Structure 1
Amino acid sequence: MSDQLIQFVRDHFDTKDFIPLHAPVFPGREKEYVADTIESTFVSSVGAYVDRFEQDMAGYTGSPKAVATVNGTAALHIALKLAGVESGDLVITQPLTFVATCNAIAYCNAEPVFVDVDRNTLGLSANALEAWLTENTSLDSEGVCRTRTDNKVVRACVPMHTFGHPADLDGLISVTRRWNIALIEDAAESLGSFYKGKHTGTFGTLGTLSFNGNKIMTTGGGGMILTDEALASRAKHLTTTAKKPHTYEYIHDELGYNYRLPNLNAALGCAQLEQLETFIENKRALAAAYEDLFSGTKLEFVKEPEGCRSNYWLNAVICEDKLQRNELLKTTNKQGVMTRPIWALMNHLAMYQSCRRGNLSNAEWLEARVVNLPSSVCVPASVREGLNNC
């Protein structure tokens, strides 16, 4: 199957050169908008494109407000703080995620708790979450969720929409409400993905996005907090070094963070967002072609959950076992077609291996079998002239 996959990828991207996993494309007004910021001299965190990018992203996602940040990790760090996460608290998340999810929790001096994922979504399992909470916690007289062994507060739950596929949000909302735990969506990979008609990142108290260079659209770096008006106002204050408005004085009223997105990056984001639906259409067509390719083979293509529209940020297949996974990775990469395994589970990393966790059998099963495939947006030849993409 490796040979057929390699040929399929080379035919789709129409190149004999190295094919990356996910490269950015810039076929729209990116150069025009970035040049405009340079001409204006407002290239840092103050500028019209920052405001426009926030407004446009709120409009696209249906979130009441959106606050731009320097990257997705910064967005998640501030979201956790706004949800009340304090030093010593516990924050439940999935072990099958990128390390930034756990790092943001650690920045709050909180401890990640690892709960299993569902195989059909690759995202946090509501059933596993309920099981861990029932076994390990109870609500105190004030309705605060605490561990029975050491009275630690379970403050928040952070599911991640893996590869752009929405997690079981109905189930997770039900469990977190029952246990009085804040739901914060790590939607870094799922811009353009919808769960039952509503955009991911808008179901919890807060949601966060990422615009890293490998995401479905990019600002070079960058992130976004999606939330209500009151929390957005707090987010804007904290991410701007907690500086109070004044004509000339420097007044900072609490510990703040230099997390604002520069205008230069926001300009790039505005141009990319204008093309997002075209990008998604392109990527969903590629996903359908991959699904046809693997139909009837021993490789199982990862499809969007029922009732959802996934952006198919990274396409993936599930191999029969780790041996088949390793052979696929070795053969494709040797031929210049970039494929990657799923991340090492977070509880396998040195800094998180002592964290609390439940039964992680699904996550362990997936870790041994999942391979990501080239998933870049392929710009049509008529538009591609002069671009070094696809």
Structure 2
Amino acid sequence: MDQPKWGHLKKLHEVLKSVEEALTYGVTENYQYPNFVDVQLHSYNGQDVCFMGNAHESYDATISFRNREYFIPAWFVTILPDCVKPVYNTAHVNVQTSIMVKEHNPGSFGQEEPLVLDCHWKNEHIEKFERSGPPRGSILTTNKLLDQKVVTNDTSDYLWFDHPKSELVTLRVNTDGHVVHVSANNKFMGTQYAQNGQYSFTYEIRINLRKGKNYLTLCSSTVGLAHSGAYFGNVPVGIKGVQIVNGSDGTVTRDLSTNQWVYKVGLLGETTKLFDVSGLSDGHRRRTELLSTSEQFIWYKTNFKTPLIPDLLVVDLKGMGKGHAWVNGYSIGRFWSSYKTECDDTSSCDYRGAYGADKGATNCAESTQRCHTPTSTTSQFPGPREPPGPTTSILSSSTTPPPSRPPSPLIIDVEDTVRPA
């Protein structure tokens, strides 16, 4: 839970719900003051609700309204449900701040959690063309590149393109997807992802291929789809062009976009449900210390004892790449821990004025997210004198570096504080 933002918005929601009838059915009056200051009055069934706003970026105003004086700072809105006493101010934050504290799991019933959890892993099997035909699970073969949403039907983040050719030197991939992975002859070559939300980008990679027939495999990956805005369903997603280019001047020597491509949706691990508790069996996994640093598309599994503290559980994925996380078979969402914020947090933050991507930036060059899970997904206590069963965490990661340590549970410790704007 992102505090204090979540709590601040929760209070706003509560105030607006309390005056909902006046806002939706009431009569509205507007009072204008100098320097972009205004008061909006909503009246309904004897209830008066006031919104006082100051849209100036630097001018603090003091106004008189209904024989009372109100101080309204710059770039500020205050809500008065009775048009007398302010109860909510956009720039004054008075809610708790969550602080993440790493704690060793004390275990239960005399059972101690080891400091380093036992973690196992398994490669995602990536198939390629063979003489006998296309890979298992492929759904269609076309002579053009299709939109990813049409092919996957939102059943997976991953869409594979497989194509055999020879003597590629420099490969250019034009895509509207979020991430593209390139493999040649069943060997991973490189990955590129969109920067700063610019999902339409070009990836060029130098590939030295063997003489004769070569196998080219592309994976286009998404991290969610557009769900708002005009015509959001028409936003293109996925690879739209594949070309061989001259390494010296960048001219296109051959366009592979209209060659034959085989499409395959999703990961094999998704189909075989490796994310289930029993998905990574002992006979099909290896210990973490045997993990190669060049591996991509890895499934990880670890077990830990359910913490005694009934708080929110955090799976620390700071050392991971991009992927999906499950706890006891329940999806807790995607993660992209290797995606670092690109911003400048050296300057002071001023909330006044129009918002920008670098405004009030903090934790620059740090991971943008961590995975949280409610304890309802962890193993429960079977009885008052019996310890809970182990909680199983399954992670699929399509980008590495591999984790610097196995995923480990954290506990969030919440302190009640007031953070000024």
TM-score, normalization: structure 2?
Answer: 0.22
Question: Greater Rg, structure 1 or structure 2?
Answer: 2
More relative contact order, 1 or 2 (CA 8 Å, 6+ apart): 1
1 or 2, which has the higher strand percentage? 2
1 or 2, which has the higher helix percentage? 1
